[in-house]
């Protein structure tokens, strides 16, 4: 419950950059001020907020960037395109594929060859890109739309994955560290990523080098939960050794 509560706090803060304890008490009437103060302390320890008298403000870090789609969609674009080219090599005709919401996976959608595929996605932007391909069938999960990151999540999206067989899932990650595995800033998105990974025969994580070594609030997978990592530069020695030990293929 604390993870979900902190996700709600971060979502609330992204629109106004700060929050007071009084506002949090209104948002969470079932929790006392001490519990909510501990949430802010935890978020500060992880580098996502800076506590001030009576509340907190968002830190100037990758979390702020994560909530700004226009920044994310243009950042490290050449690295994302390189990763997308390598990821496209992992696609096979007539397979059922899951495309996770993310700007690197979006680049993959933009460069797909028009081959027979069934693609499920929780990102409306990806579905629009795939409309250009007459041989690709597209299924959008449905769910609650987060306008900041342009993704669908929540109970409807989770229930959708119960009825779909997935051969390969292409998953985006906003952070990857030895201590916290693959992580993301939004609780609901992490729950959907977990569901897709559990349903997939093979999981491929797409992540550019700027996100390696970073941790965001919510972990959605450990190294042992995935099969392949595609990135644009070699992993640091400790992460590469851990990937080798877990039997995870690294492509760069």
pLDDT in tens, the chain (252 residues): 677 788 788 777 876 778 999 999 998 999 999 999 988 988 887 777 889 999 998 876 545 555 554 445 555 678 999 999 999 999 999 999 999 998 899 999 998 988 999 999 999 999 999 988 999 999 999 999 987 788 999 999 999 999 999 999 999 999 999 999 999 888 889 999 999 999 999 999 999 998 999 888 889 999 999 999 999 999 999 999 999 999 999 999
| Same domain membership, residue 205 and residue 80 | yes
Which pLDDT score is estimated for 65?
A: 52
- Structural domain that includes position 154: 69-251
Which pLDDT score is estimated for 25?
A: 92
Read off the tokens for 178: 């030895």
Read off the tokens for 104: 């690197």
Q: In this structure, are residues 200 and 166 in contact, taking their beta carbons and an 8 Å threshold?
A: yes
| Same domain membership, residue 185 and residue 119 | yes
Domain-terminating residue out of 60, 88, 108: 60
Cα(160)–Cα(162) distance, rounded to whole angstroms? 5
Which pLDDT score is estimated for 62?
A: 45
Cα(247)–Cα(122) distance, rounded to whole angstroms? 28
Residue recorded with tokens 């580098």: 47
Which pLDDT score is estimated for 241?
A: 97
| Same domain membership, residue 98 and residue 35 | no
Which pLDDT score is estimated for 207?
A: 96
| Same domain membership, residue 205 and residue 234 | yes
Cα(169)–Cα(21) distance, rounded to whole angstroms? 40
Tell me how many domains the chain contains.
2
Which pLDDT score is estimated for 201?
A: 97
| Same domain membership, residue 81 and residue 37 | no
| Same domain membership, residue 89 and residue 50 | no
Domain-terminating residue out of 11, 40, 60: 60
Domain-terminating residue out of 60, 82, 110: 60
3 state SS of 202: strand
| Same domain membership, residue 82 and residue 44 | no
């Amino acid at each position: 419950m604390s993870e979900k509560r902190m996700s709600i706090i971060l979502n609330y803060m992204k629109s106004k950059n700060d929050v007071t304890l009084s506002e949090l008490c209104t948002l969470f009437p079932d929790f006392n001020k001490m519990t909510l103060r501990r949430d802010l302390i935890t978020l500060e320890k992880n580098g996502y907020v800076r506590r001030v008298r009576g509340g907190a403000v968002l830190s100037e870090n990758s979390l702020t960037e994560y909530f700004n789609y226009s920044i994310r969609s243009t950042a490290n674009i050449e690295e994302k395109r390189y990763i997308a080219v390598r990821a496209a090599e992992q696609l096979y005709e007539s397979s059922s594929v899951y495309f996770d919401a993310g700007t690197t996976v979006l680049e993959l959608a933009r460069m797909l060859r028009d081959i027979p595929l069934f693609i499920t996605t929780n990102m409306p932007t990806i579905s629009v890109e795939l409309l250009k391909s007459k041989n690709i069938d597209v299924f959008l999960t449905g769910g609650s739309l987060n306008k900041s990151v342009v993704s669908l999540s929540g109970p409807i999206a989770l229930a959708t994955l119960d009825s779909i067989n997935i051969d390969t899932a292409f998953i985006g990650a906003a952070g990857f560290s030895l201590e916290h595995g693959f992580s993301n800033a939004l609780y609901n998105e992490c729950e959907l990523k977990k569901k897709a990974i559990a349903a997939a025969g093979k999981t491929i994580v797409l992540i550019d080098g700027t996100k390696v070594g970073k941790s965001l609030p919510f972990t959605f997978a450990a190294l042992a939960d995935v099969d392949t990592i595609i990135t644009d530069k070699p992993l640091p020695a400790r992460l590469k050794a851990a990937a080798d030990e877990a039997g995870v293929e690294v492509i760069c």
